Amino acid sequence: MNNKSTILDHLVQILDILNNFIGNYPIYIYLIDKNYNLIWFNNYLADKFPGVQRGNDTPCYKALWGFEELCKDCPSFDKLEHMQSCHEIFEGKLPDSQTQVYLDVISLPVRDEESIVEGILKIGVDVTENEKEQRALREKEKLFVSIIDTSADAIFLLDNEDRILSWNKGAEDIFGYGAEEVIGKSNVILIPNELIELGELYYIKQELEKRGFIRRYETQRIDKYGQLIYVDLTRTVIRNENGDSIGSSVIIKDITSRKELEFELRRTIMELSKLNELDEIFYTTYILDDILQMILISITAGEGLRFNRAFLFLIDEKKEKLQGYLAIGPTNEFEAHQIWSSLQDHFRSLKDIVKQFQINLQGSDQKINEIVKQVQVPLTNSQNVLVKALKGRRAYNVRHGRVLDAGEYNFNMDGGDLFQVLGTNNFLVVPLVTKKEHIGVILADNKITQKDITEEEIESLKLFANQASMAIENARLYKNLEDRIQELQQAYQRLEENSERLVKAERLAAIGEMSAKVAHEIRNPLVSIGGFSRLLEKKLPSNSDLKNYTSIISSQVANLESILNNILSIANPKKPERRKVDIHQVIHQVLMMMDDVIHKRDVEVVLQFRCSESTVWGDEKLLFQVLLNLVKNAIEAMLTKRVLTFTTLCEDQYIRIFIQDSGHGIPQEHLQKIYDPFFTTKADGTGLGLAIVRQIVLDHKGFIEVESVEGEGTTVRLSIPRYVEPVENSEETQEKGKQ
């Protein structure tokens, strides 16, 4: 037995003694030599591993645990050379059952006098129960960590001094800081200054003290780049077993997009209520020009859409152009301030502004209206931005003279370009259109303040333009309606007049009918009176005094007969028997018939026959009657100066016959009545002449007009259809053939 073995032997002796006292304690105690052979173990181990022998040649790890290689509970000798002890949690299986055991193993190197490690004394305590718990706990912890890590919310811990202790992935994403940048720092770096000044931290602390938590608190935080974030914050105090606070957990949700949506919603509601207000304003009037003014004022007013200037272009249907119509806006900054501050001083709501403010075409708005009137763009220039907006029903935001997504476009107009006239190349164009029609275009800009036009402003103006278009359409409809009503009123008036005339005509017809009856009744006795008087005249001796009387009777009867004939011809007008008649010849016949009177009255007759083919399509006897009546009237009207002029003209399908006298003329108020039967201004007149004349002329498909100047004379103009030589197959002959 050498020196070395003596050490281990000596230890075995001591252990044997010890084994008597504590050998059955539930502790695994065993000793191994340099070859890992088990040279001693206590009773408890013997109990648990019944087949295991001391000092056998199998190394401990194989004998006890069945491992092929050195297991954890046996650290290498080299390692132990420099250590006092080695402590390890070891996992293995007992031979009797398959139960897993966890041993807390301490390996103590056994050294000889020269400090060389000769063996290892191992003491293993069964920690299975404890270890299982620990493991489960570690699993849980892992789970929590993974939940926290994968959460989109920021989750972190703070100590009692509000220093950040942990920082998850969500926090990195929301705030932009990596864990290494924030851990150990105060969470104040996440809070906007204004909120710190407002005492938000103090408020949160109070809540935490009162309740131990604060939940779903909506506030703002600030990220690494200074960007404000809307957040929903939940913070809970963490306490130790004694109930003392050791810090707090914080969960922060990023609700920026939700807030933005809310904001958008609120903005939309405001926008709608503004539009509603505008709508109410628009419907206070139907006068188109007032509405157009209101539109421009609303676009530029502080309570409205707040553009600096607004221009209105309307379609000019006749010229086929988009024509600048009306504009509003200051010419320079000074003027702008004056107007805007006076508006703020005096008016409150948009309604008030629109009511009280007027575009001043002679004053502040004169210049801009001169500008707008210059703009004329032919509708055929379909690539012009204004025309494009109108026809494509689209809004265009022109920035630095360019438009996004507009395809081909230009800014040309008659005699220049739009930029030059407006003095800017930044503006917004929106169409004024309804479902049915294109009305025009609104152009708005911020030339004075140079402010960029935002997306929201574009949307607002588009919405507004819709509203405005409807108002314009309504005003136009209203105007149409008004025109219609006026037309209707006029038609009604005409109807009333016509019915008056109808009543009159009926009355005249009744008179005519009565007269015809009376005439008929008188006619027979009159004829016999005439007959007897002529008989008497013949039978009386030529020197009889009575002859004088009979001739008076005869001539008076003849006069009465002619009146009766006239009455009867009005009551039952004779249908003209039309054939080829030379009107010049008829005129000559009438003059011959009237020759006596013409001479007696010393009437100068002037003939101006300018129509070479003077044949008309008429009834010779009736035309004779017409001309005779007219000549009689003319002669009866001429008291002093007596010139009677006949003029004929061939015009188209008519022959015009002018019978002009130099008589006393017809007063204006009589002109309407001269054709009425029985209207006469003469003591011995019947008032039947012109009534018959008109009847005959109309029956000839001709017409009659009378022009007269009191004191100067009267001209009657007759138009009688010319005679046309019938052509074979002509309509006329065909018609006749049918009859």
Binding site for Mg ion (CB under 5 A): 633, 689
Give the per-residue contact string, 144-173, with ligand ADP (x = CB under 6 A; - = no).
------------------------------
- Residue 314: what are its φ and ψ, rounded to 5°? -120, 155
Cβ distance to Mg ion smaller for residue 633 or 714: 633
User: What residue 620 binds from Mg ion, ligand ADP, none (CB within 5 to 8 A, per partner kind)?
Assistant: none
Q: Which residue is nearest to Mg ion (CB)?
A: 689
**Residues 361, 363, 364, 366: what is their CA dihedral angle, to the nearest 10 degrees?**
40
Find the shortest distance in angstroms from Cβ 677 to ligand ADP.
8
Cβ distance to ligand ADP smaller for residue 247 or 713: 713
Cβ distance to Mg ion smaller for residue 618 or 689: 689
Q: How many residues bind ligand ADP (CB under 6 A)?
A: 21
By CB under 6 A, name the one of 361, 682, 703, 724 that touches ligand ADP: 682
Find the shortest distance in angstroms from Cβ 590 to ligand ADP.
14
Q: Starting at the edge strand that comes first in sequence, how are the strands of the sheet with 643-651 ordered? A: 604-609, 643-651, 654-661, 713-721, 703-709
Cβ distance to Mg ion smaller for residue 59 or 689: 689
- Cβ neighbours, 10 Å, residue 691: 23
Give the per-residue contact string, 613-642, with ligand ADP (x = CB under 6 A; - = no).
----------------x---xx--x-----
**Residue 658 lies near ligand ADP (rule: CB under 6 A):** no
Three-state SS string across 594-625, please? CHHHHHHHCCEEEEEECCCCCEEEECHHHHHH
Which helix (H) or strand (E) segment is 528 a member of? helix 455-539
* Residue 349 per-residue DSSP state: S
| Nearest-angstrom CA–CA distance, 536 and 127 | 177
Range 567-596, binding ligand ADP (CB under 6 A): none
Find the shortest distance in angstroms from Cβ 714 to ligand ADP.
4
Find the shortest distance in angstroms from Cβ 701 to ligand ADP.
22
By CB under 6 A, name the one of 222, 679, 717, 721 that touches ligand ADP: 679
* Angle, in degrees to the nearest 10, between helices 689-699 and 546-571: 40
Find how far residue 612's CA is from the centre of its chain: 70
| Nearest-angstrom CA–CA distance, 217 and 232 | 5
Cβ distance to ligand ADP smaller for residue 278 or 688: 688
DSSP 282-331: HTT---HHHHHHHHHHHHHSTTTT--SEEEEEEEETTTTEEEEEEEE--S
By CB under 6 A, name the one of 681, 730, 733, 734 that touches ligand ADP: 681
Distances, alpha carbon 79 to alpha carbons 45, 70, 118, 427, 551, in Å: 25, 13, 13, 83, 182
User: What residue 375 binds from Mg ion, ligand ADP, none (CB within 5 to 8 A, per partner kind)?
Assistant: none
Cβ distance to ligand ADP smaller for residue 364 or 680: 680
| Nearest-angstrom CA–CA distance, 352 and 356 | 6
Cβ distance to Mg ion smaller for residue 474 or 680: 680
User: What residue 687 binds from Mg ion, ligand ADP, none (CB within 5 to 8 A, per partner kind)?
Assistant: ligand ADP
Find how far residue 101's CA is from the centre of its chain: 81
Find the shortest distance in angstroms from Cβ 723 to Mg ion.
28
| Nearest-angstrom CA–CA distance, 390 and 312 | 12
Q: What residues make contact with ligand ADP under the rule CB under 6 A?
A: 629, 633-634, 637, 661, 663, 665-666, 674, 679-682, 685-691, 714
